[in-house]
C-alpha cells in the first residue's frame, strides 16, 4: 500500500532512485551529526539518509505518510516528528544542537522553510533540497539578474548558495507543472551582520517592493535625510546592489537616523 498524493500538502512523490540518492549526497556532513528531513512522504530520500553516518530525524505533517514510514522504516520510528515544520520550536526540538535541513520540499511553503532556517541559522549550518526551479534560481541568483530579489539577498547574507541540478517533472508522481531545482546553502563563517538585522531586512524588503525604481524613490518611505539621499548608491536600482552594498547602506541609514 502506498500513500495517495494530496495536493493541498504539496505532495509530489519522487520516483527516481538515482535522483533521490543525488539529493541525499548533496549534504557535506561538515559541522553537524544530525539531519532533519522535512516532508519525507514515503521515504524515498530518507532511505539514503539512513545509510549515512549522521542521525536522521524527519518531520511530516501527513498522518498517512507517518503511518507508512512507521511500518517501512522500523529504525526511524523514534525519530519521526508528526507535525508542521513551520510551527515547531526548533531550539526545543533539537536542544540547541546543530543540524542540517534537507528535503524535497512542499513547494507551497518552500520560501517559508528558507526564512525559518535563516531565523534559526545559529543551529543550521547547511540546508540542501529541492525547490520549484524558479525559486531555486531566485535563492542562488547574483546581482544584475532579474531573478535577484529579497530571498536572494536575505539568504546570501548568511549562506553561500549553490545551484546543483535541475529535475524534470516526469520523475514525480503526480508530476508538478514546472521543473525543479536542487540547491545547497552552506552557512558563512561569519553569519552575524555588522548592522541591525531588523533594519537590514526592512531596507532590503522596501527596496525590492519597487524593484524597477532607483533606491532614491523606493526608499522614500524611510524618510532619509537629503544629504544621505545624495549618496551615489541611491541612483542604483536594488537588483544591481551586492549583499555588501545592502549592508553598507543599512549602516548609513542607521547613522542617518541618529
Residues found near ligand SAH in the complex (CB under 6 A): 9-14, 38-41, 44-45, 59-62, 65, 84-86, 104, 106, 109
Q: How far is the CB of 222 from ligand SAH (least distance, A)?
A: 34
> Please, where are the H alpha helices in the chain?
17-25, 46-49, 63-72, 90-93, 110-119, 133-140, 150-156, 197-209, 215-218, 226-229, 243-257
Q: How far is the CB of 19 from ligand SAH (least distance, A)?
A: 9
Residue closer to ligand SAH by CB (options 5, 233) is 5
Residue closer to ligand SAH by CB (options 65, 161) is 65
Residue closer to ligand SAH by CB (options 91, 108) is 108
Residue closer to ligand SAH by CB (options 106, 149) is 106
- What is Dmax (Cα atoms) for the chain? 68
Own/partner pairs, 83-88, CB within 8 angstroms, 24+ separation: 83/59, 84/59, 85/38, 85/39, 85/59, 85/61, 85/109, 85/113, 85/116, 86/112, 86/113, 86/116, 88/59
CB atoms within 10 A of CB 10: 18
Q: How far is the CB of 221 from ligand SAH (least distance, A)?
A: 33
Q: How far is the CB of 54 from ligand SAH (least distance, A)?
A: 17
Name the residue with the smallest CB distance to ligand SAH: 39
Q: How far is the CB of 39 from ligand SAH (least distance, A)?
A: 2
Point out which residues pair with 38 in neighbouring strands.
59
Residue closer to ligand SAH by CB (options 77, 86) is 86
Amino acid at each position: 500500500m502506498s500513500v495517495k498524493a494530496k495536493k493541498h500538502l504539496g505532495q509530489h512523490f519522487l520516483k527516481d532512485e538515482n535522483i533521490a540518492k543525488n539529493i541525499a549526497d548533496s549534504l557535506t556532513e561538515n559541522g553537524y551529526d544530525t539531519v532533519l528531513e522535512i516532508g519525507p512522504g514515503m521515504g524515498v530520500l530518507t532511505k539514503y539518509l539512513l545509510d549515512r553516518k549522521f542521525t536522521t530525524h524527519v518531520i511530516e505533517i501527513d498522518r498517512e505518510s507517518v503511518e507508512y514510514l512507521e511500518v517501512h522504516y522500523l529504525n526511524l520510528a523514534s525519530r519521526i516528528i508528526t507535525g508542521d515544520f513551520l510551527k515547531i520550536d526548533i531550539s526545543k526540538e533539537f536542544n540547541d544542537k546543530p543540524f542540517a535541513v534537507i528535503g524535497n520540499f512542499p513547494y507551497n511553503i518552500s520560501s517559508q522553510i528558507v526564512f525559518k532556517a535563516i531565523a534559526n541559522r545559529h543551529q543550521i549550518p547547511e540546508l540542501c533540497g529541492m525547490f520549484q526551479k524558479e525559486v531555486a534560481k531566485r535563492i542562488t541568483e547574483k546581482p544584475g539578474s532579474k531573478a535577484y530579489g529579497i530571498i536572494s539577498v536575505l539568504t546570501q547574507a548568511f549562506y553561500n548558495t549553490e545551484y546543483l541540478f535541475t529535475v524534470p517533472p516526469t520523475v514525480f508522481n503526480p508530476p508538478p507543472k514546472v521543473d525543479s531545482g536542487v540547491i545547497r546553502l552552506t552557512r558563512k563563517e561569519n553569519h552575524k551582520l555588522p548592522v541591525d538585522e531588523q533594519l537590514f531586512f526592512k531596507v532590503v524588503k522596501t527596496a525590492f517592493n519597487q524593484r524597477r525604481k532607483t533606491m532614491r524613490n523606493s526608499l522614500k518611505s524611510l524618510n532619509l535625510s537629503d544629504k544621505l539621499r545624495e549618496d551615489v548608491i541611491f541612483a542604483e536600482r536594488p537588483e544591481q546592489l551586492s549583499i555588501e552594498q545592502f549592508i553598507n547602506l543599512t549602516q548609513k541609514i542607521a547613522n542617518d537616523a541618529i
